[in-house]
Amino acid sequence: MNKNSLVENLSAKLSIPRSEAERMLNTLVDVITETLKKGEEVSITGFGQFVVVDRSARAGVNPQNPTEKIQIGATKVPKFRAGKSLKEAVRGTI
């Protein structure tokens, strides 16, 4: 499902105009992004957590020249950890 499909689903389920559903989704994404940029986590009970994790420096290979070794620097990356209810729903145990 892409963003447009998600907006359409929200609009239908909530009986609101598509533009309002899109504004709600964009606002949610903005709030999650801003919170993660501050290094804080976003936790939605039963659904999961959006967190920032540190990825350590590592050796890599230049994709344009596979014989060339490169050093990839340490960085922070966003990560989603699924909650118990979401995991159970996907497994079909709910």
Q: Please state the domain extents for the chain.
A: 1-38, 41-94
- Quick: pLDDT tens for 6-33: 999 999 999 999 999 999 999 999 999 9
Taking 3-state DSSP, the helix, strand and coil percentages for the chain, each rounded to the nearest 5, stand at: 45, 35, 25
What percent of the chain has a predicted confidence (pLDDT) above 90?
97
**Backbone torsions φ then ψ of 59, nearest 5 degrees:** -85, 145
Q: How many CB atoms lie within 10 A of CB 24?
A: 15
Superfamily of domain 41-94: IHF-like DNA-binding proteins (4.10.520.10)
Are 39 and 79 in contact by the 8 Å Cβ rule? The answer is no
pLDDT in tens, 73-90: 999 999 999 999 999 999
Question: In this predicted structure, what is the pLDDT of residue 44?
Answer: 97
